Structure 1
Amino acid sequence: MLKRTHRRLLLVLGLLLVTSTLLVAARQRSEEPFLLGGIQVNEPDHERWVRELQRSGLNTVSVTVYAHQGDWNSDHLWFDEDNAAVLDEIRTAHRAGLRVVLILRLALDHAYPANRFLWHGLVMPDTEDQVRSWFEQYGRFALEWARRAEAEGVEVLGVGSELNTLTSTRPLDAVPALEDYYLDPAKQDEYRRSVLAHREALAEHRLWTPGTDGFATLEEYLDAEIGAHRRWAERVVGAGEQPWIAMNRRRELLEGEWRSLIRKVREVYHGPLTYAANFDQYQEVGFWQDLDLLGVNAYFQLRPAPAGPDRSRTVLAAQLETGWAGILGDMNAFRQREGLGELPVIFTELGYTARRGSTVEPWASQGFSLLRLSEGESPPASASATQAGSPEHPAVPPPLPPTRLMVWTDEPEAPLERALALRGLREAERRVAPGMLAGVLWWKLSTLPEHRAIEPFVMILGHGDDPALEELRRLDPEQRDAAWGR
């Protein structure tokens, strides 16, 4: 009887201990500040920069350092160990009482011809030996800055950003969608003909990509673009009837390299770690369990392309909130499905231009996009008859789906749209996934109005004419119900 009573007492004490631990952890989590701020454009005065950040009701400086990549399919990697400006910004922010998120990024050098029409998310060394060599060099970069982050008291460290191909480590049973699209001649022909259907509208726009001097004709531009993407996909996928088998072996290698790198970083840096996944790829990352925050560069599409001027602010606001509700619901479901529990989410990048349609394809701040027409919408007059065709005549290409060309820099100024996008995020999170977000970092912020000419996403601090700044500030749970200036 005494033994049974003793066991019950131990059980009760154990339950009390577990409950107490959970309550303490929950209280600590709720007491952690919401990381709200962003990254600067090119501030000449760090003191002024952090002062305006504080005055705007923000509490976090996002800082970045870059490693540089030669050919996209090589292990040619280098970084500058001397970056006094970054350290000065970190120290200035801390003196002002601000928090710092340091994110490691990779810049693909477009002086290398092989990199034309590609971006850093497509980097993938050719061989397993090159992959190991790449991680050895990237690891030196990460450890160098992990040590500095520890010495400077950096609050959060991001071990990488938008390395889509290198961080897609979940097993495959088919060729991934992007690679399949680039390797499909019919889909590439459809893309080519769809763009050429708008040749008149594109005639006055310079056809340029980093690493080139431009192209004489639209056909020349498209041939170069499609060829670059096809060559990338051929190298990444490889040969064979079931190429995903070899791709899965490589993915196992990649996951092991990332887990090893994260363990080594934790030996020298003792704060929270994250990785900044691209919005369309975070569910392919297989090592979230090893991190403390699920980082997402959140350039999600929130609505379809507008057929004309947005006639109703109320309708637009509802569209954007609905878009966010679906995105946050998917994100929360992913956390539960993958056993990530309450792993907090931080938007390591969020940004929109101040032009109409900025929430349609937020990543496409410049250049042009081809958008499928919404139901009932008529093709624009600029689309030529080459969009027509007849399936009864094999010599004639099949008909193209009607599209509308959006040249983003030609769209009118509409700063309210991004403000409503931020309001929609706030309302959707409160309704769908309360408490899931641990922070939002805007890409980009500046104290200098002239930066509008060089940075399409920029939000200017200290001038009071951008409705998005008020909505950004109100993402902080402690400030979201407060009026500006109170």
Structure 2
Amino acid sequence: MTTLIDQLGEPVCGMTWGWVGTRGTWATPAASASMAAMRENGVTWTAVAYAAVQATAVSTEIPFDQEPTVTDDEVIWAIREAQALGMKVVLKPVVNVADGTWRAHIGFFDWDVPNEPNWTDWFAAYRAFIVHAARTAQAESVEMLCIGCEMVRADGQEVHWRALIAEVREVYTGLITYNCDKYQEDRVTWWDAVDVISSSGYYPIGTWQAHLDRIEAVVEASGKPFFFMEAGCPSRTGSADLPNDWALPGEPSGAEQLRYYRAMFDACAERPWVGGFMLWDWPASLYAREDAATNDDYCPFGKPAGDYLREVYGRMSNREVNA
């Protein structure tokens, strides 16, 4: 089995930055300070993540060059800012739905029907978005491109995904990954078309070993390297049991986030095929350190999990340097 560490020569000690990529929030002094603070937490890779917005889950237009999506100049700024700080980059263009529907529910009839919105039209718009990002990734020497995130209903459209990946490869020579949703690692049928398998690892705190067993079988069968393109937990009571629920009611709790981080990293440390993490997430406009105790979101800045993260990422990086 080829691991991602074998392929890259280092683990992905990563953090997602800048989500959701709202126009005007990048390429600012605040954004620059935020990225520098992220780097100080032992982060050596970052996912520059931004969303284009379609109107509804059955829309077939993706106006990625319009507000609220960040501009091309802002994307390029973020890539270069990360590179200047010594970080490697995964460019992560994502599609969202304006009415709040989760992108996993974007979907159409399994077959195209005249006068109905369909997968062919949607993928044409989506390919334009992703290939545009791929050209930027190539021009800016980005190490990896993520071609999709948690598109559960779209995952079954194998022919369309393979066509998209082939088109991306015509303009981009770096590594290609797809970020499937949690519980979906063993349901994607086209892993052979990408270079790296990745997923959103928001697994309840007591279930990591069982899910790692399941994912390991996928990784072994595919022969592809793997890492968690998303993972993490809000600093909020109860979140360790439902880490994917960003709206879960609860009180701010750095201890809860730390408890989850420890369980996640300890479980994955036993699996050498886990090539690293792109933790969720670090905002472009960072809260003040003195407000960390009352912040209940995913960002570990100024929280016990942030101190622990520096230790873990430091060990991961040093282990590979000294290997």
Matched, 1:104 2:93: yes
Q: Give the direction of change, closer, same or farther, for the CA distance of 1:269–1:458 in structure 2 (3 Å limit).
A: same
- Aligned residue type for 2:277: V
Matched, 1:61 2:46: yes
Which residue is 1:413 aligned to? Answer: 252
SS in 2 for 1:139: helix
Q: 1:122 aligns with which of 73, 92, 105?
A: 105
- Aligned residue type for 2:18: Q
Measured against aligned partners, the alpha-carbon deviations of 1:27-85 in whole angstroms (never above 9, x if no partner) come to: 95372343422323556434323322222211122112323222322423321174322
Is contact 1:39–1:441 with CA below 8 Å preserved after alignment?
no
Is contact 1:68–1:78 with CA below 8 Å preserved after alignment?
yes
CA RMSD of superposed structures (Å): 2.8
Q: Give the direction of change, closer, same or farther, for the CA distance of 1:27–1:470 in structure 2 (3 Å limit).
A: closer
Q: Give the direction of change, closer, same or farther, for the CA distance of 1:452–1:69 in structure 2 (3 Å limit).
A: farther
Q: 1:286 aligns with which of 170, 180, 189?
A: 189
Q: Distance in 1 between matches of 2:37 and 2:55?
A: 37
SS in 2 for 1:32: coil
Which residue is 1:426 aligned to? Answer: 265
Q: By how many angstroms is 1:259 displaced?
A: 0.4
Which residue is 1:49 aligned to? Answer: 34
Measured against aligned partners, the alpha-carbon deviations of 1:247-280 in whole angstroms (never above 9, x if no partner) come to: xxxxxxx201100100110111111111111102
SS in 2 for 1:427: helix
What does residue range 456-475 of structure 1 map to in structure 2 within 5 Å?
A: 456-460=297-301, 463=302, 466-475=303-312
Q: Which runs of 4+ in 1 moved over 6 A?
A: 451-455
Is contact 2:106–2:151 with CA below 8 Å preserved after alignment?
yes
Q: Distance in 2 between matches of 1:27 and 1:121?
A: 29
Q: Give the direction of change, closer, same or farther, for the CA distance of 1:96–1:413 in structure 2 (3 Å limit).
A: closer
Is contact 1:150–1:271 with CA below 8 Å preserved after alignment?
yes
Structure 2 segments unaligned to the other structure (5+ residues): 20-24
Q: By how many angstroms is 1:479 displaced?
A: 4.1
Q: Distance in 1 between matches of 2:265 and 2:295?
A: 29
Q: By how many angstroms is 1:282 displaced?
A: 2.5
TM-score by length of 2: 0.83
Q: Give the direction of change, closer, same or farther, for the CA distance of 1:154–1:477 in structure 2 (3 Å limit).
A: same
Q: By how many angstroms is 1:97 displaced?
A: 1.5
Which residue is 2:211 aligned to? Answer: 327
Q: Distance in 2 between matches of 1:480 and 1:131?
A: 42
Which residue is 1:249 aligned to? Answer: none
Q: 2:242 aligns with which of 343, 347, 361?
A: 361
Q: Give the direction of change, closer, same or farther, for the CA distance of 1:441–1:75 in structure 2 (3 Å limit).
A: same
Q: Give the direction of change, closer, same or farther, for the CA distance of 1:259–1:455 in structure 2 (3 Å limit).
A: farther
- Aligned residue type for 1:448: Y
What does residue range 42-441 of structure 1 map to in structure 2 within 5 Å?
A: 44-45=28-29, 46-80=31-65, 82-110=71-99, 118-126=101-109, 127-128=111-112, 130-167=118-155, 169=156, 254-303=157-206, 323-336=207-220, 339-341=221-223, 343-366=224-247, 408-409=248-249, 411-431=250-270, 433-434=271-272, 436-441=273-278
Q: Distance in 2 between matches of 1:470 and 1:427?
A: 16
Q: Distance in 1 between matches of 2:161 and 2:121?
A: 13
Q: Give the direction of change, closer, same or farther, for the CA distance of 1:140–1:109 in structure 2 (3 Å limit).
A: same
Give identity over the alignment, percent: 24
- Aligned residue type for 2:138: E
- Aligned residue type for 2:87: L
- Aligned residue type for 2:255: L
SS in 1 for 2:241: coil
- Aligned residue type for 1:334: V
Q: By how many angstroms is 1:120 displaced?
A: 1.3
Q: Give the direction of change, closer, same or farther, for the CA distance of 1:479–1:54 in structure 2 (3 Å limit).
A: same
TM-score by length of 1: 0.56
Q: Give the direction of change, closer, same or farther, for the CA distance of 1:281–1:71 in structure 2 (3 Å limit).
A: same
Q: Distance in 1 between matches of 2:44 and 2:266?
A: 21
Measured against aligned partners, the alpha-carbon deviations of 1:91-143 in whole angstroms (never above 9, x if no partner) come to: 11112221111112111111xxxxx7x42111113452621111111111111
- Aligned residue type for 1:161: C
Q: Give the direction of change, closer, same or farther, for the CA distance of 1:26–1:417 in structure 2 (3 Å limit).
A: closer
- Aligned residue type for 1:426: F
Q: Distance in 2 between matches of 1:453 and 1:108?
A: 30
Q: Distance in 1 between matches of 2:96 and 2:293?
A: 23
